[in-house]
Amino acid sequence: MSMTPDRTDMITLDGVHFARGKQVIFNNVDMRFPRGKVTVVLGPSGTGKTTLLRLIGGQLRPARGQLRVDGIEVARARSKALYALRRRMGVLFQNGALFTDLTVGENVAFPLRAHSRLDETLIRHIILFKLEAVGLRAARDRYPAELSGGMARRAALARAMALDPEVMLYDEPFAGQDPVSMGVLLRLIRRLNDALGLTSLVVTHDVSEALSIADHVIVLAGGGVIGQGSPDEIRVQRDAEPALAQFLDGAAEGPLSTNDEGRPLADELGLGRKILRESRGESQEEGQKESQKENPGGRR
Amino acid sequence: MNSLLDPIVRLGRLTIGGIRHAGSMALFAVALAWVLIPAWSRPRDIAQQVYAAGVLSLVIILVAGGFVGLVLGLQGYNILSNFNASESLGVMVALSLVRELGPVVAALLFAGRAGSAITAEIALMKTTDQLAALEMMAVDPLRRVLAPRFWGAVISVPLLAALFSLVGIVGGYLIGVVVLGVDQASYWGQIREQMEAWEDVGGGAIKSLAFGAVIALISVYEGYRAEPTASGMARATTQTVVLSSLAVLGLDFVMTAFMFGA
């Protein structure tokens, strides 16, 4: 119950439970995000990776359990404290979420203008520095619609970094990126983390790319954590956990089902009875008699 | 049995849905009310919205106002001349416009032209995570995005209604005095003599202010609560136009009954 910040972990989840309607997303999960490290959260689609980021940002509240960022319990924070906490976080959204009616430069300037009374010249210098860091200085007067997917992602990264956050949250940063853009982003995430002393949290399902920059890995599946540790520890854990092995190998067969659960296909097609009969070796005529018995009026 | 109960079930579902919608809009209105005054700390944002919602609606409002004035002049002349009262044409046109048609028709046009645009813009910002990005940048989207749009509509509607009436009166003048030969002095003179500044002009202004507030609230609410899908956005914009139009017409009846009723 201590409220003092944990020295080793920036973000901690203890017994967190979260559900959307009847669908349980997190069932009593514990997670640790070490300070100053790049933590990668892996998991199949729909395991609540984006939900995790929204919980950390305080946009969603867990039903039970505690989620602390630098010792502050996010769900209990009042709006002022929550906003103060968010000012220390940068978020790179899955689709960039750039403001479409502002230029790239104005997008980066937006958080600075909203939260500081800095001189316009200084703001201009900060914009140039941030855009230089992501290699987009020349694109500062372009609108988001004029950028490629990779450039938009980097512009959004520059905006997320504008207020010099302590924590960076990346939501699927590699989705839909070509190999070169992906390489650039990977290097940026690692370099920014080390150069600025950030704590980074990367949510993704690109296993090999993510493992190449990770200090700490958390693998989610089926409402819980199925693996947690350094990349080497994860590789060791895979032997004991079939679901983890399936996910890391990208195997089609295994405990992680990609089909939604429901009635068997034969049932949905109304073939259950017929297939059952045929497998019993009954003749078709018998089957017809049976169906007449069931439906005496002959109406279909 | 089922088909017998179906209409009742549907009616119940509709009623509950409607009440839930109204309740959620009321809660939203309270949350929005808290940030309406603080939003004035950025007057430029509000000026931009007055431009986007108001100035860009000028063409449709002025053209519509002109035509309504022309029709009123023509119909009014035909009826009034039966009673040898065609010199009252001016005051008839002016009163109809200032008390009723100006506020109501301008509000309906505004809901279609600007209200739907406000809803679509906010809904798209929501769909593309721009509102979530604002929240994560510790900027309240209610105060930064919704409140300026609310003010933009509230300020624009009364001004547009006034212009609508003005152009309509000129339209009535053109058809009545210039084309049909009504005496020019009695057209303007009767307006001046018989119209009350507070009761007629003030009443119309209060009406259009109320209509502006209702349209603004519905537009920002529907955008903010839109489902983040293509069909959700379509539903939200349609809902804005339908709800705003019905609300304006219903409110107009209630306000007319109170202001000019007895």
Give B130-162 pLDDT, tens digit per residue.
999 999 998 999 999 999 999 999 999 999 999
pLDDT of A277 above 90: no
Q: Tokens 């109304």 correspond to what residue?
A: A270
3-class DSSP state of A207: helix
Q: Tokens 């207020």 correspond to what residue?
A: A163
Distance (Å) from the C-alpha of residue B26 to the closest C-alpha of chain A? 21
Distance between CA atoms of residues B166 and B159, nearest Å: 11
Instruction: Please check whether residue A110 lies inside any domain of the structure.
Output: no
- Chain B contact present for A30, CB below 8 A: no
Interface confidence, given as ipTM, is 0.77
| Confidence at A5, pLDDT banded by 50, 70, 90 | low
pLDDT of A257 above 70: no
User: Using one digit for the tens of pLDDT, what is the confidence trace for B94-116?
Assistant: 999 999 999 999 999 999 999 99
Distance (Å) from the C-alpha of residue B46 to the closest C-alpha of chain A? 16
Instruction: Please check whether residue A254 lies inside any domain of the structure.
Output: no
pLDDT of A218 above 50: yes
Q: What is the mean pLDDT of residues A21-32?
A: 86
Distance between CA atoms of residues B227 and B213, nearest Å: 23
Exposure b/e, B176-209, CB count within 10 A at least 16 = b: bbeeeebeeebbbebbeeebeeeebbebbbebbb
What is residue B51's DSSP assignment?
I
Contacts of A86 in chain B (CB under 8 A): 135-138
Instruction: Please check whether residue A50 lies inside any domain of the structure.
Output: yes
Among the partner residues B129, B136, B140, nearest to A95 by beta-carbon distance: B129
Element at B153 (helix H, strand E): helix B147-173
Please give the pLDDT value at position A175: 81
Distance between CA atoms of residues A95 and A153, nearest Å: 7
| Confidence at B195, pLDDT banded by 50, 70, 90 | confident
User: Using one digit for the tens of pLDDT, what is the confidence trace for B210-242?
Assistant: 999 999 999 999 999 999 888 999 999 999 999
H helical segments located in A144-283 = 149-160, 179-196, 207-213, 231-237, 242-249, 265-268, 272-280
- Chain A contact present for B138, CB below 8 A: yes
Please give the pLDDT value at position A293: 46
Residue closest to A40 by CA, chosen among A227, A194, A183: A227
For residues A80 and A183, state if they share a domain.
yes
Q: Tokens 């940048």 correspond to what residue?
A: B137
B130 to chain A: closest CA residue = A97
Percent of chain A residues topping a pLDDT of 90: 18
Range 237-256 of B in CB contact (< 8 A) with A: none
Q: What is the mean pLDDT of residues A43-69?
A: 87
Instruction: Please check whether residue A124 lies inside any domain of the structure.
Output: no
Q: Are strands A23-34 and A89-92 parallel, antiparallel or unpaired?
A: unpaired
Test A86 with B135 for CB contact under 8 angstroms. yes
Test A114 with B139 for CB contact under 8 angstroms. yes
Residue closest to B36 by CA, chosen among B154, B182, B138: B154
CATH of residue A22's domain is 3.40.50.300
Distance between CA atoms of residues B56 and B49, nearest Å: 10
Distance between CA atoms of residues A70 and B153, nearest Å: 43
- Chain A contact present for B130, CB below 8 A: yes
For chain B, what are the domain ranges?
54-260
3-class DSSP state of B248: helix
Instruction: Please check whether residue A108 lies inside any domain of the structure.
Output: no
Non-local CB neighbours of B76 within 8 Å, separated by 6+ positions = B89, B92, B93, B172, B176
For residues A171 and A280, state if they share a domain.
no
Range 113-152 of A in CB contact (< 8 A) with B: 114-115
pLDDT of B251 above 60: yes
Please give the pLDDT value at position B178: 93
Residue closest to A202 by CA, chosen among A183, A189, A212: A189
Distance (Å) from the C-alpha of residue A52 to the closest C-alpha of chain B? 14
Among the partner residues B128, B129, B138, nearest to A83 by beta-carbon distance: B138
Please give the pLDDT value at position B198: 84
Please give the pLDDT value at position A267: 77
Q: What is the mean pLDDT of residues A51-63?
A: 89
Instruction: Please check whether residue A25 lies inside any domain of the structure.
Output: yes
User: Whole-number mean pLDDT of chain B?
Assistant: 92
H helical segments located in A68-226 = 79-86, 104-115, 120-133, 149-160, 179-196, 207-213
Please give the pLDDT value at position B245: 96
User: Which amino acid is residue A214, in one-letter code?
Assistant: A
Range of the domain at A207: 9-88+165-249
pLDDT of B164 above 60: yes
More confident residue, B56 or A135: B56
Q: Which two tokens stand for residue B204?
A: 């119309």
pTM of the model: 0.82
Element at A224 (helix H, strand E): strand A224-229
Exposure b/e, A274-298, CB count within 10 A at least 16 = b: eeeeeeeeeeeeeeeeeeeeeeeee
Among the partner residues A97, A98, A99, nearest to B132 by beta-carbon distance: A97
pLDDT of A297 above 80: no
| Candidate ranges A6-10, A25-29, A124-128, A134-138; pick with highest mean pLDDT | A124-128
pLDDT of A27 above 80: yes
- Chain B contact present for A91, CB below 8 A: yes
For residues A233 and A276, state if they share a domain.
no
Q: Give the other-Cβ count within 10 Å of B232's Cβ.
A: 14
Instruction: Please check whether residue A26 lies inside any domain of the structure.
Output: yes
For residues A202 and A245, state if they share a domain.
yes
pLDDT of A274 above 70: no
Test A87 with B139 for CB contact under 8 angstroms. no
| Confidence at A1, pLDDT banded by 50, 70, 90 | very low
Q: What is the mean pLDDT of residues A79-89?
A: 88
User: Whole-number mean pLDDT of chain A?
Assistant: 82
Whether the Cβ atoms of residue A177 and residue A150 lie closer than 8 Å to each other: yes
Please give the pLDDT value at position A258: 59
Test B136 with A83 for CB contact under 8 angstroms. no
Contacts of B130 in chain A (CB under 8 A): 97-100
Contacts of A111 in chain B (CB under 8 A): 137-139
Select the residue from B41, B136, B139 to test the A interface by mutation, using most A Cβ atoms within 10 A: B136
More confident residue, A163 or A260: A163
For residues A193 and A284, state if they share a domain.
no
Instruction: Please check whether residue A235 lies inside any domain of the structure.
Output: yes
From residue B100, give the alpha-carbon distance in Å to each of B40, B162, B216, B233.
31, 11, 20, 32
Structural domains in chain A (count): 2
User: Using one digit for the tens of pLDDT, what is the confidence trace for B67-83?
Assistant: 999 999 999 999 999 99
Distance (Å) from the C-alpha of residue A99 to the closest C-alpha of chain B? 6
